[in-house]
Amino acid sequence: MSAHPLTIGVAGLGTVGGGVLKLLADNADVVAARAGRPIVVTAVSARDRSRDRGLNTAGLRWYDDAAALAGDPGVDVVVELIGGSEGPARDLVEAALRAGKPVVTANKALLALRGAELAQLAGTTPLAFEAAVAGGIPAIKALREGLAANNITRVAGILNGTCNYILTTMREQGREFADVLAEAQKLGYAESDPSFDIDGIDAAHKLTILAALAFGRPVDFSAVHVEGIREVSALDFQMAEDLGYRIKLLGIAERTEAGISTRVHPCMVPQAAPIARVDGVFNAVEVVGDQCGRVVLQGRGAGAGPTASAVVADLIDIARGRHTPVWGAPLAAAPSVPMARHTGCYYLRLMVVDRPGVIADVTGVLRDNSISLESMLQRGRAPGEAVPVVLTTHECEEAGMRAAIARIEALAAVMEKPALIRIEPA
């Protein structure tokens, strides 16, 4: 074991930053043994020095300006845990890479939006980000290293624990979205402004990273189709149960003959599928390779311990001199498949007036758009009043389904905006 420690500066002392300091203190011996030398925090940066974080920062150099960490001669590696694609986080990472200092970050937004330019700036300097996707699950290492010999055809996953908790609670307790979200906020599982989570943006950032690693295409957040979970209702869970499905917010990246498809949206998945049984705040990542087949990883996708575990794993690699290119291999342009060309099966929920001829009108619209039905469910009868009707389709193209929905919504007997959930195979 080398006597010379690896010295690090940590910017951001929130949940994850505090977790990193605690892990390095609690597991100092095992970390040193696996790193070949001690890993020691020598400097920190956070906005408020006076805040009691329950951390011992005595003897550490403190920087009010996070970017100044990069110029500290007593810091070998910069750990960025501030978050955000601009401002102090970006300034610090760029300053450190320009100074030739390795960077470890958990910042999925920065990587999804600035990953290409940061990789170019890094050159041969390590830029590590295991903690940016799925917390304690080693999804990055699996794609970049463990499955490196495979042609990857698909990466999919539950990439946001807040959404998975909300959807799980809605299913188990039969409650509506707004009610469960409010409870999740009280419990600390959802932010006071939960938009990044529930609108699918956080999951899309992570999927952007996974797609670049899996398919060697440039990082392109703008190519991801993004939908959140605001429109999913308790009734959808009841119907999903009858149909043999569970509802999950999935990020899905696939290689097709036409190019690379990347999308985040609610999905109905068969109850027997491994990913259907990942509940609560847990995450899962599923990779399909031509040699390995399907590999499923699951675990805690957020929180102090799991995310700190991923951060320190990157630090151990740097201490040992293990280094791979930022995106695993040189990136090459590949066409993006627009959502309109997606082909699959669909769940369609309508609220219609219960009177003769309504279903014939709806199915006529579907027929005109080359969409065939697989099944239809109607709960109860209420002549002259609104009732829910659920239709599932055989495979069809998204563009045709969207055109059909526009016409169905305009029918006089349709009382609400139709709800659409895509059905994913097992």
What CATH number is given to the structural domain containing 388? 3.30.70.260
With residues binned 3-state (H G I as helix, E B as strand, rest as coil), the percentages for the chain, rounded to 5, are 40, 25, 35
Q: What is the pLDDT of residues 49-77, one digit of tens each?
A: 777 777 777 889 999 999 999 999 999 99
Residues 128 and 146 in one domain: no
371 in a domain, yes or no? yes
Residues 260 and 388 in one domain: no
324 in a domain, yes or no? no
Residues 111 and 152 in one domain: no
Torsion angle of alpha carbons 187, 192, 193, 199, nearest 10°?
10
418 in a domain, yes or no? yes
Measured CA to CA, the distance from residue 168 to residue 7 in angstroms comes to 42
Per the document, the length of the chain is 426
Domain-ending residue, one of 105, 132, 159: 132
Neighbours of 191 (CB within 10 A): 13
Q: Residue 347 has which token pair? A: 């769940």
Structural domains of the chain, count: 3
Residues 164 and 269 in one domain: yes
Q: Residue 418 has which token pair? A: 């139709």
369 in a domain, yes or no? yes
User: What is the pLDDT, as a whole number, of residue 3?
Assistant: 66
Measured CA to CA, the distance from residue 197 to residue 313 in angstroms comes to 26
Residue 420 bridge partners (DSSP): 348
Contact criterion met (CB below 8 Å) for 248 and 267: yes
Residues 258 and 347 in one domain: no
Its domain, for residue 62, covers: 6-132
Residues 278 and 235 in one domain: yes
User: What is the pLDDT, as a whole number, of residue 1?
Assistant: 61
Domain-ending residue, one of 117, 132, 147: 132
Strands 373-378 and 386-393: antiparallel
DSSP string for residues in 106-154: --HHHHHHHHHHHHHHHTTS-EE-GGGSSTTS-HHHIIIIITTTS-EEE
Neighbour-count burial of 73, counting CB atoms closer than 10 A to its CB (0-12 exposed, 13-18 middle, 19+ buried): exposed
Q: Residue 401 has which token pair? A: 């389904």
32 in a domain, yes or no? yes
Phi-psi label, residue 205: left if phi above 0, alpha if psi -120 to 50, beta otherwise: alpha
User: What is the pLDDT, as a whole number, of residue 383?
Assistant: 75
Spell out a b/e string for 291-300, using b for 16 or more CB atoms within 10 Å of the CB, else e: eeeeeebbbb
Contact criterion met (CB below 8 Å) for 1 and 32: yes
Residues 57 and 30 in one domain: yes
3-class secondary-structure state, position 331: coil
How far is CA 128 from its chain centroid?
A: 18
317 in a domain, yes or no? no
Residues 191 and 289 in one domain: yes
User: What is the pLDDT, as a whole number, of residue 370?
Assistant: 94
Residues 153 and 295 in one domain: yes
Residues 184 and 165 in one domain: yes
The one-digit pLDDT tens for each residue of the chain (426 residues) are: 666 999 999 999 999 999 999 999 999 999 999 999 999 999 999 887 777 777 777 889 999 999 999 999 999 999 999 999 999 999 999 999 999 999 999 999 999 999 999 999 999 999 999 999 998 899 999 999 999 999 999 999 999 999 999 999 999 999 999 999 999 999 888 888 999 999 999 999 999 999 999 999 899 999 999 999 999 999 999 999 999 999 999 999 999 999 999 999 999 999 999 999 999 999 999 999 999 999 999 999 888 999 999 999 999 999 999 988 888 888 888 899 999 999 999 999 999 998 888 999 999 999 999 999 999 988 766 777 888 999 999 999 999 999 999 999 999 999 999 999 999 987
User: What is the pLDDT, as a whole number, of residue 2?
Assistant: 65
User: What is the pLDDT, as a whole number, of residue 317?
Assistant: 96
Residues 229 and 149 in one domain: yes
Q: What is the pLDDT of residues 388-397, one digit of tens each?
A: 999 999 999 9
Measured CA to CA, the distance from residue 93 to residue 9 in angstroms comes to 12
CA angle 97, 117, 159 (to 5 degrees): 95
Residues 6+ apart with CB under 8 A from 81: 10, 11, 12, 13, 14, 16, 17, 20, 105, 106, 107, 311
Domain-ending residue, one of 132, 158, 186: 132
3-class secondary-structure state, position 317: helix
Q: Among the options 101, 108, 141, 206, which is catalytic?
A: 206
Q: Is there a catalytic annotation at residue 206? A: yes
361 in a domain, yes or no? yes
Spell out a b/e string for 376-398, using b for 16 or more CB atoms within 10 Å of the CB, else e: eeeeeeeeeeebbbbbbbeebbb
In this structure, what CATH number is given to the domain that contains residue 215?
Answer: 3.30.360.10
Q: Residue 280 has which token pair? A: 């609560």
User: What is the pLDDT, as a whole number, of residue 366?
Assistant: 95
326 in a domain, yes or no? no
User: What is the pLDDT, as a whole number, of residue 289?
Assistant: 96
Residue 347 bridge partners (DSSP): 392, 421
User: What is the pLDDT, as a whole number, of residue 380?
Assistant: 66
Nearest Cα to Cα of residue 80 among 12, 132, 176? 12
Residues 122 and 145 in one domain: no
Specify the residue for token string 């599923």: 286
In this structure, what CATH number is given to the domain that contains residue 22?
Answer: 3.40.50.720
Measured CA to CA, the distance from residue 332 to residue 173 in angstroms comes to 47
Q: Residue 100 has which token pair? A: 């030739």
